[in-house]
């Protein structure tokens, strides 16, 4: 099943939707959308999937460059993150800024209140690893945070 959550387009029909079977190549994916940009709306669109997150759940976010930047606020995502018992995951930025190293990044995370809703794992806090890629025409490997191994 593919999921594209496009906010601001159409109403979520979570109450009546039945989960779609997995798509095969060439089939159209099921698209879930909502105009309910609220903590409750995010939980409803997750529930519309009809699949429960299990095991260790990572919720990838951007904590933003400043309080005024575009990022998902803790008060918006808290209910969803806690419903799936998720860990927020982030990476330090390659371009510097207030998330360019772990110390600054941890400070920004605390200032914005992400620590108050869930554990936050900065994936490259202790280094990075290289993953092989199949098609090496443009990339020889992919660099990811070493915590991916956890």
Q: What is the pLDDT of residues 16-74, one digit of tens each?
A: 344 556 666 778 888 888 899 999 999 999 999 999 999 999 999 988 887 778 888 99
| Average pLDDT, integer, range 95-100 | 84
- What pLDDT score was predicted for residue 10? 28
Closest Cα to residue 147, out of 120, 118, 112?
Answer: 120
| Residue 7 backbone dihedrals phi, psi, to 5 degrees | -80, 135
| Residue 121 backbone dihedrals phi, psi, to 5 degrees | -110, 115
Confidence of residue 8 (pLDDT cuts 50, 70, 90): very low
Please give the radius of gyration of the chain, using alpha carbons only, rounded to the nearest integer: 18
For residues 26 and 15, give the distance between their C-alpha atoms in angstroms, rounded to a whole number.
28
Q: Percent of the chain scored above 90 by pLDDT?
A: 63
Q: Percent of the chain scored above 70 by pLDDT?
A: 84
Per DSSP, 25 falls in state T
| Pairing state between β 128-132 and 57-60 | unpaired
**Count of Cβ atoms closer than 10 Å to residue 36 Cβ:** 16
Q: Is the pLDDT of residue 92 over 80?
A: yes
- What pLDDT score was predicted for residue 82? 97
Per-domain residue ranges of the chain: 1-51, 55-150
For residues 71 and 93, give the distance between their C-alpha atoms in angstroms, rounded to a whole number.
15
- What pLDDT score was predicted for residue 39? 96
- What pLDDT score was predicted for residue 95? 87
For residues 36 and 108, give the distance between their C-alpha atoms in angstroms, rounded to a whole number.
28
């Amino acid at each position: 099943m593919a999921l594209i959550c496009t906010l601001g387009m159409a109403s979520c029909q979570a109450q009546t939707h039945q989960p779609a079977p997995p798509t095969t190549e060439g089939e159209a994916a099921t698209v879930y959308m909502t105009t309910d940009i609220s903590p409750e709306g995010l939980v409803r669109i997750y529930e519309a999937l009809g699949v429960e997150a299990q095991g260790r759940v990572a919720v990838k976010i951007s904590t933003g460059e400043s309080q005024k930047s575009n990022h998902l606020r803790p008060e918006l995502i808290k209910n969803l993150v806690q419903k799936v018992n998720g860990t927020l995951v982030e990476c330090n930025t390659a371009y510097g800024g207030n998330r360019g190293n772990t110390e600054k990044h941890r400070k920004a995370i605390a200032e914005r209140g992400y620590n108050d809703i869930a554990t936050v794992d900065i994936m490259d806090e202790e280094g990075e690893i290289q993953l092989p890629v199949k098609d090496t025409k443009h990339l020889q490997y992919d660099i990811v945070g070493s915590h991916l191994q956890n």
